[in-house]
């Protein structure tokens, strides 16, 4: 025998009065609690992963948090790494409130804006960058005119102007027809042999930059030609950039609303609520399950069947429930007689009536009236029914 076995035998196992040891009790407790503990641990892990910060994304076209090809997340991340504070807004009221002097206000398309909203944006002190304006350009400046909408296929265009940002970009992939109508406007990236271009700058009390095509800002085209240089220089002139993408729910600058309940809740609130529902369901299943086999207990007092029958009869009599008493008498007589004649418990009423009529020699209608007739109306009728049923049962048993 080895030394380890000898040492193990030398150490006595502590056994308590119920015949268990510390090890057996620990194993029993682990088997009982391991499922709830594993469930709680899994939920805690999921909650921890949900609480970890993650970049928020959207599917809004040209939004700074949209990683899709039509989004602008790449440009936003580059600007952020260069120290630009981007404030993404979806309403005119938020854009006007954030667009102070010394900031840049980017307005992405104006197709959803009304005249009052455009006037509110034009009244800010921030430098403006208009991206693909369709009708509001005259509200911002009278030195620039858009003579047509961008075509479907962007093309490579040379700067062909002396604007520093355009010269730094060199070439871009864009479309559009912006025409200068005043001395303060500089139009760049023009069509060959034409004065209409895709990019324009109007100097004044504040700088107005217009890009007639959204293509250079998108994730899909930012790395093409000099798109990144032009976009980053136009949007990164100040430390703060207000990025305004109009929404369908934007009602204008004059109708400001407070934050909704969804805005006040953290981003992980829906997932946490779902986890709480799962925990509640698991707890309900856990506490609502059967704890073991049904156990029959011995009654402290044994009540004889005859006493139970007499007690029920007294209750029927006290409540004048002659119909229930008659039904009990008829059911008992029919069941005993059918069992004596060998009929099954599921035998229909016509079969029972025919069998009892044949065994007793009585008319079939008389047997049917006794077993399935109307309830008695008084005590005398009930007594007479009980006597007649007893006679019928006696005749059946003698057969």
- Kindly report, residue by residue over 211-269, the tens digit of the pLDDT: 988 999 999 999 999 999 999 999 999 999 999 999 888 876 444 455 666 666 777 77
pLDDT above 70 as % of the chain: 86
53-83 pLDDT, tens per residue?
556 788 899 999 999 999 999 999 999 999 9
Residue 60 lies in a domain: no
How many CB atoms are closer than 10 A to CB 396? 23
Is residue 43 located within the same domain as residue 152? no
Burial category of 11 from C-beta neighbours within 10 Å (exposed 0-12, middle 13-18, buried 19 and up):
exposed
Which residues, in sequence order, are CB contacts of 181 under 8 Å at separation 6+? 142, 143, 144, 145
The reply to whether 16 and 79 lie within a common domain is: no
**119 shares a domain with 15:** no
Same domain, 320 and 219: no
3-state secondary structure of 171: strand
Confidence check: pLDDT of 86 > 70? yes
Do both 333 and 227 map to the same domain?
Answer: no
User: Is residue 14 located within the same domain as residue 114?
Assistant: no
Handedness of CA 154, 160, 163, 168 (dihedral sign): positive
What pLDDT is stored for residue 127 in this prediction?
A: 94
pLDDT of amino acid 111 = 84
**What is the C-alpha separation between 341 and 399, in angstroms, rounded?**
9
Tell me, what's the pLDDT at 148?
A: 65
Q: What is the pLDDT of residue 128?
A: 94
Range(s) of the domain holding residue 9: 3-51
Tokens of 86: 């981007």
Tell whether 318 and 358 lie within a shared domain: yes
Q: Is the pLDDT of residue 32 over 90?
A: no
Structure confidence by residue, pLDDT tens digits, 281-301: 888 877 766 666 777 777 777
Our count of domains for the chain comes to 3
Residue 348 lies in a domain: yes
Does residue 321 sit within a domain? yes
pLDDT at position 149: 57
| Domain-located, residue 9 | yes
Q: Which residue has the tokens 């032009």?
A: 230
pTM higher than 0.85: no
Q: Which of 91, 127, 93 is closest to 235 using CA atoms?
A: 127
75: left (phi over 0), alpha (psi -120 to 50) or beta: alpha
Taking alpha carbons only, the member of 208, 205, 206, 172 closest to residue 188 is 172
For residues 143 and 218, state if they share a domain: yes
Whether residue 152 is found in the same domain as residue 7: no
Helix axes 379-398, 322-340, angle to 10 degrees: 0
Specify if 284 maps to a domain. no
Q: Are residues 206 and 322 in the same domain?
A: no
Task: Tell me: pLDDT of 3 over 60.
Answer: no
Q: Are 216 and 139 found together in one domain?
A: yes
Pair 243, 121 in one domain: yes
């Amino acid at each position: 025998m080895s030394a380890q076995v000898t040492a193990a035998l030398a150490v006595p196992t502590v056994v308590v009065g119920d015949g268990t040891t510390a090890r057996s009790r620990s194993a029993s407790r682990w088997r009982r609690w391991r499922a709830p503990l594993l469930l709680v641990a899994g939920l805690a892990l999921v909650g921890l992963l949900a609480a970890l910060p993650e970049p928020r994304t959207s599917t809004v076209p040209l939004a700074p948090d949209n990683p899709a090809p039509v989004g602008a997340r790449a440009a936003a991340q580059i600007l952020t790494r260069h120290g630009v504070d981007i404030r993404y807004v979806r309403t005119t009221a938020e854009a006007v409130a954030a667009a102070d002097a010394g900031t840049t206000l980017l307005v992405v398309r104006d197709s959803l804006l009304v005249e009052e909203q455009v006037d509110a944006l034009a009244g800010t002190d921030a430098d403006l960058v208009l991206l693909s304006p369709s009708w509001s350009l005259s509200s911002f400046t009278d030195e620039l005119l858009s003579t047509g909408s961008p075509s479907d296929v962007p093309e490579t265009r040379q700067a062909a102007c002396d604007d520093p940002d355009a010269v730094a970009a060199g070439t871009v992939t864009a479309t559009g027809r912006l025409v200068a109508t005043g001395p303060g406007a500089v139009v760049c990236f023009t069509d060959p042999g034409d004065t209409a271009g895709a990019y324009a700058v109007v100097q004044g009390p504040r700088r107005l930059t217009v890009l007639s095509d959204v293509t250079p800002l998108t994730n899909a085209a930012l790395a093409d030609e000099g798109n990144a240089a032009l976009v980053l220089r136009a949007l990164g002139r100040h430390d703060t950039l207000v990025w305004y993408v109009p929404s369908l729910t934007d009602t204008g600058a004059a109708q400001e609303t407070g934050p909704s309940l969804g805005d006040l809740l953290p981003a992980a609130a829906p997932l946490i609520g779902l986890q709480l529902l799962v925990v509640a369901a698991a707890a309900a299943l856990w506490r609502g399950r059967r704890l073991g086999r049904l156990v029959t207990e011995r009654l402290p007092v044994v009540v004889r069947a005859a006493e139970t029958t007499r007690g029920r009869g007294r209750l029927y009599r006290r409540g004048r429930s002659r119909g229930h008493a008659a039904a009990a008498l008829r059911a008992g007589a029919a069941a005993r007689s059918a069992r004596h004649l060998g009929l099954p418990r599921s035998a229909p009423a016509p079969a029972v009536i025919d069998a009892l009529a044949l065994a007793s020699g009585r008319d079939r209608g008389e047997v049917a009236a006794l077993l399935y007739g109307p309830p008695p109306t008084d005590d005398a009728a009930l007594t007479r029914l009980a006597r007649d049923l007893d006679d019928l049962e006696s005749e059946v048993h003698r057969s």
